[in-house]
Amino acid sequence: GRSKGNRYLVVYAFPRGEGDEPRLGVSVSRRVGGAVERNRVKRLLREAFWAQAEELPADHDFVLVARPDAKELAEREGEAGIARQLRELVETGGFANGGEAG
């Protein structure tokens, strides 16, 4: 697989062969915060991922790992901030369709 990270998130991409749509795994550690904060960050990560899933190759699995600063980003900018950071990682990491994601 391949990975790309920044201050807030790490994206891992693993080719899996055939698939109808990309699959998603999310990891948010206790360092991000308590259960309420972790669940909010997970929800925002899922929403941001599926909002741009059409741009991603269908035959890959993706794992999003939230770094501790993701909590601050979620509090400050909400889904828009998380989506912006994720989009940046997808584009610069070459994970989008047409990129070298394999």
- Say how far apart CA 18 and CA 82 lie, in whole Å: 29
* pTM of the full structure: 0.89
pLDDT at position 81 over 50: yes
Query: For 51-71, what is the mean pLDDT?
Result: 94
| Radius of gyration of the chain, Cα coordinates, nearest whole angstrom | 13
Q: Does position 38 have pLDDT exceeding 80, yes or no?
A: yes
Q: Examine the pLDDT at 102 and tell me if it is beyond 50.
A: no
